[in-house]
């Protein structure tokens, strides 16, 4: 989707997103990151994270300008050290004093909202476009409602899972800001329920198909084992069960990727940014699911070496399906945003990068 020229009558301009990275380039970064992480017993993973993020951000372009990632590897390392210390404290205390499990459960429940806010804010404030930083401003109470109350409700009553996903997307998008201007998304709950219902039907069909295959595999495995057993070839029923298990895993990944893509499209395509800007996401759920599954197969067949190529392949497709629909001049917008962001853009707060997001 190429950028469309601004129209004299004020018609909106569509600015597409483009990922310009190449698999071979990222492979060199990835293989060095892996080697140094192993040699340093994991200490280099913080620097590997920064190198990877800077590569992907730096190769993602919107309206001819790339994004930038500013995080410090030392801050990420300190955050991971704190997280590791807490995990070791939990593990040792539960082993030697099992009754402390309840205490740790309460501590985690109380800490989760803070961790969510710190993680999302860390990523937002370390991301910029045209020298303007993103930001995230949600309160502890808002995060507690979104991630603790609604997640607990979804675990207790499964039909609330789609609604809880909408709550999480609202929380994530509606508290993000760019240069002092807020994002907002809103869509009817019935639309996300329809997507999840369709995904549930696909899972049921997949499960029935796998059970049918498993039943046939029992018969085939018995005959094959009896025949090959005469030649001392060690192929038994367990080999066929493994194949069925792998097929089900790939099928589940296909459905999960399909549903996630449609939900992401729904959340982003209904999002706006103050100032007359609209976001768009038109990725095909089937195409993304196909890329994810074939990537998984190729990664298994190459013992992991295809991973960097697969990640670039997925990024190239997904990025070109994102777009910004602008009703005004981006130059004027970013100039105003750069002036209004003041110290917000310079403040790099929080140590944690825990992967909360869409």
The tens digit of pLDDT for each residue in 323-347 reads 999 887 777 676 555 555 443 333 3
pLDDT of res. 219: 67
pLDDT of res. 265: 97
Measure the CA–CA gap between 176 and 119, rounded to whole angstroms. 13
**Per residue in 288-324, pLDDT tens?**
999 999 999 999 999 999 999 999 999 999 999 999 9
pLDDT of res. 28: 97
Across 8-19, average pLDDT: 81
- Please name which of 141, 138, 108 lies closest in space to residue 124, comparing C-alpha atoms: 138
pLDDT of res. 107: 86
pLDDT of res. 6: 45
Measure the CA–CA gap between 169 and 185, rounded to whole angstroms. 8
122 contacts 349 by C-beta, under 8 angstroms:
yes
Q: Is 169 exposed, middle or buried (0-12, 13-18, 19+ CB in 10 A)?
A: buried
Tracing tokens 């768009």 back to the chain, one arrives at: 280
Residue 108 has pLDDT above 70, yes or no: yes
101 contacts 94 by C-beta, under 8 angstroms:
yes
255 contacts 199 by C-beta, under 8 angstroms:
yes
pLDDT band at 34 (very low <50, low <70, confident <90, very high): very high
21 contacts 59 by C-beta, under 8 angstroms:
yes
pLDDT of res. 10: 60
pLDDT of res. 239: 62
Residue predicted with more confidence, 329 or 262: 262
Across 221-237, average pLDDT: 55
pLDDT band at 196 (very low <50, low <70, confident <90, very high): very high
Spell out the domain ranges in the chain: 187-246
User: Pairing mode, if any, of strands 13-19 and 322-326?
Assistant: antiparallel
**Reported pTM:** 0.84
- Please name which of 285, 358, 342 lies closest in space to residue 125, comparing C-alpha atoms: 342
Residue 158 has pLDDT above 70, yes or no: yes
Half-sphere exposure of residue 342, counting CA atoms within 13 Å on the CB side? 2
pLDDT of res. 7: 45
Whole-angstrom distance between the N-terminal and C-terminal Cα of the chain?
Answer: 23
């Amino acid at each position: 989707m190429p950028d469309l020229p601004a129209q004299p009558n004020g018609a909106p301009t569509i600015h597409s997103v483009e990922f310009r990275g190449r698999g071979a380039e990222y492979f060199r970064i990835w293989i060095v990151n892996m080697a140094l992480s192993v040699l340093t017993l994991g200490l280099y993973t913080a620097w590997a994270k920064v190198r990877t993020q800077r590569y992907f951000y730096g190769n993602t372009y919107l309206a001819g300008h790339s994004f930038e990632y500013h995080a410090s590897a030392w801050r990420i390392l300190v955050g991971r050290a704190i997280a590791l210390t807490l995990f070791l404290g939990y593990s040792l205390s539960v082993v030697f004093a099992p009754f402390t499990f309840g205490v740790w459960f309460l501590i985690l429940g109380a800490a989760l909202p803070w961790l969510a806010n710190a993680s999302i804010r860390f990523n937002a404030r370390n991301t910029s476009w045209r020298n303007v930083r993103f930001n995230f401003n949600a309160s502890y109470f808002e995060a507690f409602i979104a991630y603790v109350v609604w997640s607990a409700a979804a675990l207790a009553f499964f039909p609330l899972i789609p609604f809880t996903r909408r709550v999480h997307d609202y929380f994530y998008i509606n508290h993000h800001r760019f240069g002092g201007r807020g994002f907002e998304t809103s869509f009817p709950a019935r639309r996300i329920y329809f997507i999840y219902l369709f995904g549930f039907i696909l899972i049921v069909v997949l499960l029935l198909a796998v059970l049918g295959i498993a039943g046939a595999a029992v018969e085939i495995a018995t005959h094959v084992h009896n025949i090959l057993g005469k030649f001392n070839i060690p192929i038994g029923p367990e080999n066929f069960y493994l194949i069925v298990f792998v097929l089900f895993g790939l099928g589940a990944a296909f459905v999960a990727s399909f549903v996630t893509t449609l939900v992401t499209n729904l959340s982003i395509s209904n999002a706006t940014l103050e100032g007359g800007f609209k976001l768009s996401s038109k990725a095909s759920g089937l195409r993304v699911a196909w890329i994810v599954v074939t990537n998984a197969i190729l990664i298994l067949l190459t013992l992991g070496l295809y991973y960097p190529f697969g990640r670039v392949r997925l990024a190239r497709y997904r990025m070109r399906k994102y777009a910004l629909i602008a009703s005004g001049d981006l130059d004027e917008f970013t100039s105003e945003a750069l002036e209004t962001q003041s110290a917000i853009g310079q403040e790099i707060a929080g140590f944690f990068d825990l992967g909360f997001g869409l």
